[in-house]
Structure 1
Amino acid sequence: MSAIHVIITLPFLLAICIPLFKKVWPGIHMGWFMLPLPIALFAYLINLIPVVMGGGVFHYSLPWIPSLGVEFTVLLDGLSLLFGLLISGIGSLVVLYSVFYLDKQKENLARFYVYLMLFIGAMLGLVLSDNLMVLYGFWELTSISSFLLIAFWNKRERSRYGALKSLTITVCGGLAMFAGFVLLYIMTGTFSIKELIADFSAISGHDLFIPAMLLVLLGAFTKSAQFPFHIWLPDAMEAPTPVSAYLHSATMVKAGIYLVARLSPLFAGSSIWLWAVSGIGLLTLAYGSYRAIKQTDLKALLAFSTISQLGLIMSLFGIGSAAAFYVGTSQYEFFTIATAAAIFHLINHAVFKGALFMVVGIVDHGTGTRDIRKLGGLMAVMPVTFTIALLGSFSMAGIPPFGGFLSKEMFFTAMLNIREMSFASMDTWGALFPVVAWVASVFTFAYSLLVVFRTFGGKSQFHQLEKEPHEAPLGLLISPLVLASLVVVIGFFPNLLSHSLIEPAMAAVYPFGLQPNESFVVHIEMWHGFTTELFMTIGVAVIGIAIFFLHRRFAWVNEPMELNVSLNSLYDHSLKGLDSGASWFTRNYMTGSIRHYLIYIFLFLTAALGLNLFLAGDITLKMDDFAPISFYEAVIITALVLSAIAVPFVNSRLMAIILTGMSGYMVTLFFVIFRAPDLALTQMIVETVSVALFLLCFYHLPNLKKEVVKRKIKLWNIGIAVSVGVVMTLVSLSVSGSRKFDSISHFFIENSYKLAGGKNVVNVILVDFRGFDTLLEVVVLGIASFGIYALIKMRGEENALNSQDQFGFKLDIYGGIRSNDVILRTISRFAVGMILLYSLYLFYMGHHHPGGGFIGGLMASAALLLYAIAVGMERFEKTVPVDFKRMTGIGILIAVITGMGSFLFKAPFLSQTFGYFDIPLIGELELATATLFDLGVYLTVIGVASTILFTIGRDK
């Protein structure tokens, strides 16, 4: 595992440790434990700048699912280093800010910092991943962790609404992006971004190229709040201010911009990419800047300004992609200035917007409101906060000598350069780009003035405030002061960034234009003379100041937009329509009748399988080479058929359970005859536990009453039963008679001992060759057991008090009723110990002989069930004080940790190994890591089965 892998892993490990810190040091603010990690990550990445400046690239890979081309490959170049520095650097300041912003007495800080560390790890994984599938996993994890952070104050309806809205839109976009990644894999056979870019010329003419591009852009646009997907960002401002300052200005919303920048070398040669990225970006810029000046809430104003600024950066990356059309020409560097401006403004925006969000948090803390109609005159009482707001707002407005002015000038230059293009209809429509950019910049200037002067200037209105305004404590001021200082430093010394960060990032975005030993040269100056860009800036300032002063006088500008039809109303009505439609559909098929549910399942099963059999014309039903049926097999078949047929006709549920169990045990005898001991053991134990489970469930039901069933219903039942039997028989015959490829059983038989050190092929397949399947199965079992536990525990006490059967005693068959069978209790004392010992034998010997973790776990569960029935649940809980739900979690954790242990040896997840060792007094002994994985399965099965059985049995 490389140091880059460790960087990604550390936040997740810290998130796991947070509850421990809370218990050990309950009196200390949790933020102090979190702060060293992002600082350390930032310091480590800073040290890599000289290497990356020299053209160095860090590329490491860990195998994961190599057969599918999915590997945990990390790539650290100029672009990912820039984003990594933003994530860790601003993350450090946000954590420090949150220490003083969040009250440890009122807030659940452990939960907050768990979510925050998850987000930091996900963002680092996203920007450092070279594999598209791994990138997608981290992409969705950012959506989930941001959802949890936005909904941190989950008792507020608006917080829950904003969190759900952001999750819905970004996850839907992520699924579209996932489909685009799959199409790229179909075209190239690789998920590696590095390999895709190297092969971009070979796929540009492919039929799937444009669909893949558009799907990827959907993901990028939804994540970066581009029009019309921007509607989630203003509602996400219900999150705590540290979250807004981090996620919604500096990191998460820039994930889409990162994706566009990273994949630009792949798609930049397409005019559709140029128009889509730059066009949507400009539209977002103009719309966001206009909506910003209509907001009265400071956070909402900054939200729309963020949308606007994201559109600006996106449009620059789109225009910069035009450089792909000029590779090798003198105009190549003429158009790369747009990319340089995008990267420069991305840094500037993270700095000044992070500072402004923190300022808003300080104002909210100090006054009790964010409504600019109630604010004013705060300059006198909050001078430091005012200074920070002034620096941040002036940089956002593009006023010299701050960094925002420099990147805005470069933005104007890029927009003017687009008129020189003679392709993709730019010679006709390209003239609109600088016009739209200029108009949007006017509104940007106006709302920047609103932020600072409507809040801190003008007449004081302290009587309207909830609190007496006061300056923030030093702890709250440190982080925004650092960012405000950077605004000034970047403005006066921009080339500190141009050589260290901007040039390496440009080389990563557009590697196709560089010859060996060449590099981009970016030189940023404050003064370029009397240029068109300067006059555009003067015009922006003049008109922007006019709008600011006339802002209160014109109602159509000042009042918020209230439209009957809007994107937000479309989203709300769509969600309501989907919810009502789903409710209607659910009401019609969720009738509460098990018979109806079985009809749906069996009809779908027979239709799907039957249709496939019908359409597959080359399937044959080969029946001429079957072995003869022996006398014993005939007897077992007869007993099996008779027991199954008798079930619908008995008058007692107890007899129905016995007959069902009899059918299962007949199947067990078949496995014995056919020499399948593992299956026979599993079937026998599952049948035993299932019968007990049926008894526990049916005990709660009233006596079985025979009702007159209509002839139509009988015909339906017979028809469905016959159809299922016929289809499954045909499937079985077709499988044995129409093999389209050779069986893989020979591979497992030949290699189970050679590759996995086990002689029991069935167990080796479960814990080694197909261990991932087994892991997912035990996870599903665990979830099911927790679900059953939760469903039963959710039933109110009123039901428990009234839940008595017709004989008048409570239904706590393990607590209120105690077995009077002396023989059962006496035998159980010896039998339970022997069964548990045998379950351990099955577990340990399962690698070479019949058995394994699953069978052993079921056997142990059966022993515990027998003991509970014999002595009663109250005594059982005293003598066996085990939390089986916790045992389930421990088992799953052991299985997962065993799988992850292979990473230490640079092997794929769940790779197993074995060896032979001489143990004193014992001799040679085989030790296999698969045994540890099987231990996890063993504990999980015991936990799952016991949780289900004892929860149902204990239920009153």
Structure 2
Amino acid sequence: MLHVIILVPFLMALVIALLTKRASNLHRGWLVFPGSLALFVYFLTRLPVIKGGDLGYETVSWIPSLGIDMVFHLDGLSLLFALLITGMGSLVIIYSIYYLDKRKEALTPFYIYLMLFMGAMLGVVLSDNLMVLYGFWELTSVSSFLLIAFWHRRQKSRYGALKSMLITVFGGLAMFAGFLMLYVMTGTFSIREIWSEVGDISGHALFIPAMLLILLGAFTKSAQFPFHIWLPDAMEAPTPVSAYLHSATMVKAGLYLVARFSPIFAGQYEWFWIVSGVGLITLIYGSIQAMKQTDLKALLAYSTISQLGLIMGLLGMGSAAAFYIGEEAVFYTAATTAAIFHLINHAIFKGSLFMMVGIVDHETGTRDLRKLGGLISIMPVTFTVAMIGSFSMAGLPPFSGFLSKEMFFTAVLNIRNLDIFSIPSLFTLFPVLAWIASVFTFAYSMILVFHTFFGKYQPEKLDKKPHEAPLGLLLAPCLLAVLSIFIGFFPNILSNTLIIPAMNAIHPILQTGEPFVVNIHFWHGWTPEVWMTLGVVILGITVYRIYGRLSLVDKEWGSGYTLNQVYDGIIRLVEKLSRWVTGSYMTGSMRHYLMYIFSFLIVTICGVVWYSDGITLGTTEYTPFSLFEVIAVMVLLLGALAIPFVRSRITAILLTGMVGYMVTLLFVLFRAPDLALTQMIVEVVSVTLFLLCFRHLPRLEKEKLKPRAHFLKLIISIGMGVTMTLVALAALGSSPFESISKYYVENSYTLGGGKNIVNVLLVDFRGFDTMFEITVLGLASLAIYSMIKLQLDGDGTATQLKRVVPYNKPRYSRSDDVLLQAVAKVAFVIILIFSLFLFFAGHNNPGGGFIGALMASAGLVLLAITFGMDMVEKVLPINYRKLIAIGISIAFLTGVGSFIYDVPFLSQTFGYFQLPLMGKTELTTAMFFDLGVYLAVIGVTMNIILTIGRDN
């Protein structure tokens, strides 16, 4: 069930893309809201199941030979995050429906990106396989990049999106290296299996490096110092994106990673110091920086950084429990309990505050604190939401943030009792830093409320006349505000349902002793935590008053020498270095590029052959050759040798075609009909393509080169020929493995259901290769279309190429030969029928989807040459770019269908059925995959032909 659940957001994205025209009058958000809400309800139904200890664990085969399967695991920790992802996602969708105007915004891509992100986040928190987790992890970076850059016409949006992706992808690659190190140590990608081997690998030389690399991934994703710099710039995204990604989901992914890997690394001193130290530094740094901001979203961005540091620090302090057993261990898990509780509270109050800021911006036209003030009487409901969210963030009763802040103080005070390190006095810094950061947190929370809603009303500085937001905009933040109050009064509703199951996942040792109990309530007596809170309030009010009296809110804060400048400097340095390196070899000459490539291949391949032992040239494996083969090879060589000396492009094309047809003849002589058919049709299409390309080129003029250059070209060409000959002979005589061809010969019919071994290879045994090949072909075709369809203006921006076509002049050339036109009509029908025959017969006889598609394309090319491409477009009004997408989608969905039967991706099956009129007939799922190949190849070929064939 879990693998189906993860597919739901991706399917919703597909539905939006396909049904957008049919639902043009409906806001796209209403199409995805039911699915998101259904996911949230489903995960709610799992609460009693997980509470009872019945953990969900599902495996879907993917690449079992490499140990990579789609393994999904639902425990207390993943359930907590899944509820945040789907619950906040549902509220954000409702909010965005009223925030984004369907008449002004491109809502289809927005919700596609949002659903991709939701699915990727669910994949991250539910995956047990490291490689699958990494794949979803990077998908969150890509989808968040698209969401942050949604208003892509703004330079700041593009800058923020690029910065976020570069930093998080950098951390993701480091994390990937750490995952590979864990695999080297354990031989498994399963997180659960790695847990069981911690005692065996903790002393391994790669254990600490793996830990550091994984933490690097977590710190970059969760905006920990000094990698926090991407988060403030990401605020250029629409407010629904900020409320979703940057308060409740994406930035929590790093926290999830630390919590998930705590059972593996928590017993290391380095883990404790790094996680807790980085968390506390981020906490106090973010709180101080938030005080300086004049933009409401920037203030919330730095407050988010600070709060993420708080939770990260708590997770680090909670790892101290791994150094103890029994009641002492439980004593230090209080930090982890506080982290989980505050993670929930932070998502609630920060989500409501982001939405509140979006409302203020939406209704006043500005987020600048220097222009705002006096809005309490105009926007009383928005003020109430802001007050509840800010007071909860500040840690004031009776809101839920007060409770988790008190637990935070308890945790830092407990750390003073640690006696496992040689410098116990250093632990006194923990409560001191926590208290100072809390003071600044209180102060910027007050700034957020009072500078926005109190003070002097300044209508002359606002872009529009403010008024209270409509109910649709207020619904989601009001629900979150009410939830903050409700949890504040009834916190133990979360204790048994969410907090304890999550604790059991982070600290498995808790399951071995007495049942773990979490009891949260307001009053514990006059404890040190209460006095710390009183001190925070008193000093926080003082800081706020000083801040207001000095009018620091009106001050333009100078940037100085900042981490952002370091980042920008590194980017400029890398760009400058890359331009210098690229400019040294990118001369614009195709001759130079080919010389680089061939020289590299000659040196590397010949070097390997020279220094490797046991390589023979297979002199005993030669087969006898006939006179026909000798003649064909000689003609082939003569044609190839003549090409460099001709002065006409047409002659060069004809000679190239002759070489291709000689290769076709060799395939026939070697009894390879599939290859011969493919080669022959490829030659027809490629020769046509060459002619279409060359007709737009200037007159051919031979490049005048010095004799030395000619000699160098001769040496490289001979060297390349000799190198490839040696490779072929070495592969023939030096392979240490038995030829795999025997396996295919013996199993193509019994396992693949086909007698045509080549076709069974393409659609079954090596279906992955074929799917990626048609994907690459599709991308290449679209790239050709884009290059020809677009041109660069003088300022470097791309605009659509406008073609000036005289009145009544066709866009394409055509033949006026009446005889050719008469023959072409009949030939096209014959070719098309033969194409379909090749498609249907290909599984057992020569043919298949690829060959059939090329044959159909050849028929279409014949029509285009004879009657003009205008006629082809009128008779067959097909959008070949969409045909490419349809073909690739059919091939991919055929592979996804394998998951329904719990078999590896792209597994095929077949059977024999008694059909009316046809009798006993073989039916195979590979035909659907072949259909995808057929449509994609036709789309690729015709898209290229029609694009290049246009007259300028």
Place the TM-score, normalised by the shorter chain, in its bin. Answer: over 0.9
Of residues 2, 5, 10, the one that matches 2:3 is 5
- Cα shift at 1:706: 4.2
Equivalence for 1:905: 901
Within the alignment, does 1:223 sit opposite 2:221 as a pair? yes
CA contact (8 A) 2:853 2:938 kept: yes
Q: Which residue number in structure 1 is paired with residue 370 of structure 2? A: 373
1:347 partner SS: helix
One-letter amino acid of the structure 1 residue matched with residue 509 of structure 2: F
Q: Which TM-score applies when normalising by structure 1? A: 0.96
- Displacement of 1:30 after TM fit? 2.6
- After superposition, residues 512-527 of structure 1 pair within 5 angstroms as 512-515=509-512, 518-527=514-523
Matched, 1:941 2:941: no
Q: 1:634 matched to which residue of 2?
A: 630
Worse-superposed segment, 905-914 or 422-431: 422-431
What letter is aligned with 1:818?
R
Contact 2:811 2:951 in 1 (8 A): no
Corresponding position: 1:206 with 2:218? no
Aligned match of 2:645 in 645, 649, 661?
649
Distance 1:425 1:839, change over 3 A: farther
Question: Which residue in 2 is equivalent to 1:727?
Answer: 723
Q: Which region of structure 1 is more displaced relative to structure 2, 694-703 or 316-325?
A: 694-703
Matched, 1:439 2:428: no
Pick which of 546-555 and 903-912 moved more.
546-555
1:883 is matched with 879
Match of 2:921 among 910, 925, 930: 925
Distance 1:826 1:766 in 2: 37
TM-superposition CA deviations, 1:571-602 (whole Å, max 9, x none): 11222222233233333333322211211221
Aligned to 2:742: 746
- Kindly tell me the number of residue pairs found equivalent between the two proteins: 945
User: In 2, Cα distance between the equivalents of 1:858 and 1:205?
Assistant: 59
Residue 944 (structure 1) shift: 1.1
Contact 2:790 2:800 (C-alpha < 8 Å) held by counterparts: no
- The residue aligned with 2:193 is 195
Matched, 1:340 2:360: no
Match of 1:806 in 2: none
In the other structure, the counterpart of 1:713 is 709
Matches within 5 A, 1:760-799: 760-795=756-791
Verify: 1:571 aligned to 2:567, yes or no.
yes
CA contact (8 A) 2:912 2:920 kept: yes
CA distance in 2, matches of 1:282, 1:824: 81
Secondary structure at 1:331 match in 2: helix
**Map of 1:599 onto structure 2:** 595
- Residues 68-108 of structure 1, C-alpha deviations (whole Å, 9 max, x = no match): 22222211111111111111222222222222222222222
Of the three residues 732, 737, 761, the one matched with 2:733 is 737
Tell me the residue number matched to 1:679.
Answer: 675
Cα distance change, pair 466–422 in 1 and its aligned pair in 2 (3 A): same
Q: Look up the SS of the partner of 1:123 in the other structure.
A: helix
Matches of 1:631 and 1:463, distance apart in 2: 95
Counterpart CA distance in 2 for 1:772 and 1:424 is: 53
Greater Cα shift, 249-258 or 456-465: 456-465
- Sort the Cα spacing of 1:716 and 1:800 in 2 relative to 1 into closer, same or farther, 3 A: farther
Query: Closer, same or farther in 2 for the Cα pair 1:651/1:473, shift >3 Å?
Result: closer
1:500 alignment partner, one of 480, 494, 497 = 497
Describe how 1:450-469 pairs up with structure 2 within 5 A.
450-469=447-466
Q: Secondary structure at the match of 1:655?
A: helix
TM score, norm. by length of structure 2: 0.96
Does 1:126 find its partner at 2:124?
yes
Q: Deviations over 1:154-186 (max 9, x none)?
A: 222211211111111111111111121122122
Q: Is the alpha carbon distance of 1:815 and 1:544 closer, same or farther for their aligned partners in structure 2, counting shifts above 3 Å?
A: closer
Rounded Cα–Cα distance in structure 1 between residues aligned with 2:523 and 2:703: 94
Gaps of 5+ in 2: 793-798
C-alpha distance in 2 between matches for 1:337 and 1:199: 26
1:33–1:864 Cα change, 3 Å: closer
- Tell me, yes or no, if the aligned pair for 1:294 and 1:558 is still in contact at 8 Å: no
Aligned residue among 416, 423, 426 for 2:413? 416
Coordinate RMSD, CA, aligned: 2.1
State which drifts further: 452-461 or 176-185: 452-461
Q: Name the CA distance, whole Å, in 2 between partners of 1:952 and 1:383.
A: 62
How far 1:439 sits from its partner (Å)? Answer: 1.1
Q: What is the match of residue 16 of structure 2?
A: 18
Inter-partner Cα distance in structure 1 for 2:646 and 2:36: 69
Judged with a 3 Å threshold, the aligned counterparts in structure 2 of structure 1 residues 618 and 802 are, in CA distance, closer, same or farther, namely: farther
| Range moving further from structure 2, 83-92 or 316-325 | 83-92
Residue 303 of structure 1 deviates from its aligned partner by 0.6
Are 1:403 and 2:400 an aligned pair?
yes
Q: Does 1:150 align with 2:148?
A: yes
1:58: Cα distance to partner?
0.9
Please state how far the C-alpha of 1:882 moved relative to its aligned partner. 2.6
Q: Secondary structure at the match of 1:72?
A: strand
Q: 2:614 — aligned with what?
A: 618
Describe the shift of the 1:953–1:675 C-alpha distance in structure 2 as closer, same or farther (beyond 3 A): same
Distance 1:503 1:847 in 2: 57
The answer as to whether partners of 2:369 and 2:553 remain within 8 angstroms in 1 is: no
Aligned equivalent of 2:795: none
Residue pair 1:183, 1:208 contacting (<8 A) in 2 also? yes
Q: Which amino acid aligns with 1:565?
A: Y
What CA distance in whole angstroms lies between the structure 1 residues aligned with 2:524 and 2:800?
A: 80
Shift of 1:649: 1.4
Q: Give the percent of matched residue pairs that are identical in Structure 1 and Structure 2.
A: 60
Deviation at 1:347, TM superposition (A): 0.8
Q: State which drifts further: 86-95 or 277-286.
A: 86-95
Conservation of the 8 A alpha-carbon contact between 1:419 and 1:426: no
CA shift, 1:389, in A, is: 1.4
Aligned equivalent of 2:820, options 819, 824, 834: 824
How far did 1:707 drift? 5.1
Could you tell which deviates more after superposition, 547-556 or 474-483?
Answer: 547-556
Do the aligned residues in 2 keep the contact of 1:385 with 1:477 (CA within 8 Å)?
Answer: yes
Aligned to 2:829: 833
Assess if the C-alpha contact under 8 Å between 1:360 and 1:370 holds in 2. Answer: yes
Deviations 1:678-712 (A, max 9, x none): 22222222122222222222222233334543101
Letter of the 2:429 counterpart: L
State whether structure 2 residue 160 is matched by structure 1 residue 162: yes
Structure 1 unpaired stretches of 5+: 804-808
Paired amino acid for 2:588? G
CA distance in 2, matches of 1:707, 1:497: 78
SS at match of 1:379: coil
Residue type at the aligned position of 1:404:
G
Aligned match of 2:86 in 85, 88, 93? 88
Q: How does 1:231-250 map to 2 (within 5 A)?
A: 231-250=229-248
Is this contact kept in 2: 1:280–1:315, CA < 8 A? yes
Please give the alpha-carbon distance, in whole angstroms, between the structure 2 residues aligned to 1:289 and 1:586.
43
Corresponding residue SS for 1:851: coil
Would the aligned equivalents of 1:792 and 1:955 in 2 still touch at CA under 8 Å? no
Offset of 1:799 from its aligned partner? 8.6
1:950 counterpart letter in structure 2: L
Aligned residue number for residue 874 of structure 1: 870
Q: Could you tell me which residue of structure 1 aligns to residue 279 of structure 2?
A: 281
Q: Could you tell which deviates more after superposition, 604-613 or 33-42?
A: 33-42
Distance in 2, matches of 1:798 and 1:405, equals 57
